[in-house]
Structure 1
Amino acid sequence: MSPEPLIAVRDLESSRHWYQTVLGLRSSAAGVHDEKLLSGERVVMRMRPWDTRHHPHLGRPDVRARGNGMLLWFRTDDFDAAVLRVRQQAAQVLEGPELNPNVGQREIWLRDPDGYVVVLAGPEGEVAA
């Protein structure tokens, strides 16, 4: 089993661009009504515009809280390259980069264009706490 979180977005093209340029993901058969984003050959997340009718339990666009109680967490083997992309794209940084001493990994916390919190984390145990 492997998770593939799906998020609702205001502007599919803009969000697609953000995740590709900031996280280095690539698109798989991008469509007008959905998007699959890949790392290597593996789907790591999906996106749909808010106006889609295919997922009635996805939520409502008029409710402003995005992902309360949820983080989009991505592990990367090349944390330095990920931080460089974040800086080059002037992504909104909430915290970091910093060391999480509990697991010995570096993390940077971001906010995506729709308000979701995105965490990029290096490998656990990479850095001695």
Structure 2
Amino acid sequence: MQAQPLIAVRDVPAASRWYQQVLGCQSGHGGNDYEQLIHGGRMILQLHRWESHGHAHMGNPDVRPYGNGVLLWFYSEDFDDAVERAAAISATVLEGPKENTNASHREIWLRDLDGYVVVIAGPYGDMGM
């Protein structure tokens, strides 16, 4: 089994570009209503336009913050590169990069274009900054 989270966004192409830049992934579908983001040949995230296709359980785009209580957490072997990519697009940094001694890795907490919290964590044991 593998998680394939789907988040609702205002602008699928803009969100796709943001995630591709920060996560170093590629478009696997493309389009204005729906996108699949691919890394290492696997889908890691789906993006869906709020108003598209009328899914009953998508949520209400007028109620903020989106994803309250949900963190989009990504493990990355290239943590330093991910931090540089986030800085290159002036991504909003909520925390870090920092060492998380409880998890024995480094992490950076970001906010995406729609307000979702995105965490990128380095490999276990990667505590050298």
Structure 1 residue 54, shift from structure 2 partner = 4.8
Shifted more, 54-63 versus 96-105: the winner is: 54-63
Structure 1 residue 33, shift from structure 2 partner = 1.8
Does 2:120 align with 1:86? no
3-state SS in 1 of match to 2:83: helix
User: What is the alpha-carbon distance in structure 2 between the residues aligned to residue 40 and residue 20 of structure 1?
Assistant: 13
Equivalent residue number for residue 104 of structure 1:
104
Equivalent residue number for residue 30 of structure 1:
30
3-state SS in 1 of match to 2:15: helix
**Deviations 1:15-61, CA, capped at 9 Å, x for gaps:** 01100112211100212321000111000010100002252101011
User: What is the alpha-carbon distance in structure 1 between the residues aligned to residue 32 and residue 94 of structure 2?
Assistant: 30
Equivalent residue number for residue 51 of structure 2:
51
3-state SS in 1 of match to 2:22: helix
Please list every run of at least 4 consecutive aligned residues from structure 1 whose deviation after the TM superposition is greater than 3 angstroms.
none
User: What is the alpha-carbon distance in structure 2 between the residues aligned to residue 35 and residue 48 of structure 1?
Assistant: 7
Equivalent residue number for residue 42 of structure 1:
42
TM-score by length of 1: 0.94
Equivalent residue number for residue 67 of structure 2:
67
3-state SS in 2 of match to 1:84: helix
Q: Structure 1: 5+ residue runs without aligned partners?
A: none
- The letter for the 2-side match of 1:17 is R
Same amino acid, percent of matched pairs: 52
- The letter for the 2-side match of 1:97 is P
Task: Report the count of equivalent residues.
Answer: 128
TM-score by length of 2: 0.94
Q: CA RMSD in A?
A: 1.2
